[in-house]
Amino acid sequence: MKSLFKRLRTRRLASMFVLLATLTAAIVGGSFAAHGVRGQEQQNSSTDATPLKVVNSTVPPNEFVRIAKQVGPAVVNINTQTLPKQATGKGKRSFGRTQHLPQQPGDDDQQQEQDQQQGQQQGQGQGPQNWGDLFRFFGGQMPDQEGGDDGQVHESLGSGFIVDPKGYIITNYHVIEKADKIYVKLSTDPDNQDLGRPARVIGTDKATDLAVIKIDTSSPLPTVKMGNSDATEVGDSVEAIGSPFALAQTVTAGIISAKNRTIEPGAGGQFQHFIQTDAAINPGNSGGPLLNMNGEVIGVNTAIYTQSGGYQGLGFALPSNTVVDVYNDLIGSSHKKTRGSIGIRFNQGLSGAVNRVYGFKNGVLVQQVQPGGPAEKAGLKSGDIILTIDGRSIKDGDDMVNEIASRRPGSSVRLGYLRDGKQADTTVAIGDRDKVFADVGDQQAEANPDEKGDPGEVKLGVVVREISPATAAKLNTPGVVIESVRSGSYADLQGLVPGLVIVRVNKQPTRTKEEFNAVAGKLKPGDDVVFEVMDPRHPDEGINLVGGTL
């Protein structure tokens, strides 16, 4: 019985295979018939195809076309060369700065308070504090080209625009910062011209990252018109022109995404309040113009927010009103931007709790008064709350800085302030910001003429202490934590802030305060100084290198 059942099942399977084979053959045959194909004998034929023709219609030019034609001739390509002897980095970094730095001495028991303070600063015109190396100035020097002492000439590129027919050009300071030679190529210059026309530096301003350079010309050059950046609105259409990745005369468009954006905390960002845009800008666009729909320059493209090194929808341009103010000083006899100062440091972005406890809504809480500075001579003290300048109420630190910085050294202001709940006022002489902080450094150096004091504080402007065992274990390395940074000092200019941990200086371990001071004590002006620092709140990010020339 089983044998019979097996034979029947075998015959049924065989019948199914025959059926499947028949159907497959029919389908394949039908397919060949439908397509008219018989192996390789069938020839392709296109006798029934109609040739395409170009339609001779015209598209009315939009505003972006008009602006590109109007402004393009005044936008230039800037090439720089750094010679081998100067290929090592000096000054502030121009391609990436760490932003998420703790603002107070940072051992473990202070992290929650710091996180809360930083959270309160969000949405107040400031950038997030955890951008890390995502915020970049974007001169056209690519990461694999960054200067090193390798005996080679390093080239970089950027953009700029002509503002005077005699050949005066505005660009970013970081585009020409390390350059030994600067060349400018106009839109009308031939492509086979290697680098362009030699240019010389007229003046620079690190605080706003602006520079003015000049080329010689025998005939008037095309220029741009400077617009009013204060009149711009979020949502306005804008156009950017520059040379990203050496692709000259590249035009992109977008809108203004935000205004008054501060992306670098502390003194480094006091004079940089950017226009934010989503117009595509990339390495090489730096120094080029951001234009409104009237074809007027409303900003200088300066920085981008990026995870890849390229465009990600967030670009930042220094407003034209700031640019014009700085330019007019740089072309003056001193070739520098002079800013007023009263010699104080203050806390920015205070929480509402601080305001309520100290009894003020608007104003500036003085954190530190520079010894020997104008504010100290006028009787101001740490803890005072500055409320008015010449009778006008001030909103916050930015408002005060803008007001004081605009005053000429030698003039004076009347400050109204609050001390221990009582109102008072005093007259303060305005000093030159650069000289005020330089004088403070000189006074501290004179107080330690034999450098018997703290070398780290005298030479670098930083006071350190040894980190706790818990922090050392968290970072997996010993080091010293920064307790304070003197305003205007070398450490301040490099972007160091309280709370960072220094693990090495010039490759020398700084496991203790004594080791740190021993390394600092050997430094002299002109030396390259590189800090290896870690952020205790982000130990997974490892070591960041911060350096320049003392």
337-372 pLDDT tens trace: 989 999 988 876 666 777 777 777 788 888 888 888
Domain assignment present for residue 116? The answer is: no
What total of structural domains would you count in the chain? Answer: 3
Candidate ranges 74-88, 280-294, 528-542; pick with highest mean pLDDT: 280-294
Q: Quick check: is 2 in a domain?
A: no
* Cα separation, 354 vs 359, whole angstroms: 8
Domain boundary, last residue among 319, 337, 355 = 337
Give residue 107's pLDDT: 38
Residues 488 and 407 in one domain: no
Instruction: Determine which of 110-114, 444-448, 488-492, 497-501 has the lowest per-residue pLDDT on average.
Output: 110-114
The residue among 303, 337, 371 that closes a domain is 337
Determine the Cα–Cα distance for residues 291 and 273; give it in Å rounded to an integer. Answer: 17
Average pLDDT in the 397-423 region?
A: 90
Tokens describing residue 251:
């035009």
Q: Of these residues, 94, 156, 159, 286, which one is catalytic?
A: 286
The residue with greater pLDDT, 26 or 507, is 507
Which of 252 and 550 is assigned the larger pLDDT? 252
Q: Express as a percent the part of the chain with pLDDT over 70.
A: 73
Mean pLDDT computed over every residue of the chain: 77
Point out which residues pair with 339 in neighbouring strands. none
Question: Does pLDDT of 4 surpass 70?
Answer: no
Q: Give the separation between CA 67 and CA 294, rounded to whole angstroms.
A: 8
pLDDT score for 263: 78
Short-list 182, 188, 172, CA closest to 72: 188
pLDDT confidence band for 391 (50 / 70 / 90):
very high
- C-alpha distances in Å from residue 217, one per residue of 268, 392, 495: 36, 48, 39
Q: What is the CATH number of the domain that holds 399?
A: 2.30.42.10
In a domain, 422, yes or no: yes
Evaluate the CA torsion angle 143, 146, 149, 152 in order and state its sign: positive
Select which of 94, 174, 325, 454 is catalytic. 174
Give the Cα separation of 180 and 424 in Å (integer).
53
**DSSP H or E stretch at residue 111:** helix 111-121
Which of the following is catalytic: 107, 205, 209, 454?
209
Q: Is residue 15 part of a domain?
A: no
156 among known catalytic residues: no
pLDDT tens, residue by residue, 223-262: 999 999 999 999 999 999 988 887 888 999 999 999 988 8
Picking from 337, 355, 374, the residue at the C-terminal end of a domain is 337
Q: Name which of 256, 271, 77, 274 is nearest 159 in CA terms.
A: 77
Is 229 one of the catalytic residues? no
Range of the domain at 372: 340-435
Same domain, 256 and 163: yes
Residues 169-213: tens digit of each pLDDT: 999 999 998 888 999 999 888 876 677 899 999 999 999 999 999
Whether residue 502 contacts residue 491, with contact meaning beta carbons closer than 8 Å, is answered with no
> Which of these ranges, 84-93, 133-142, 273-282, 288-297, has the smallest mean pLDDT?
84-93
**Is-catalytic flag, 230?**
no
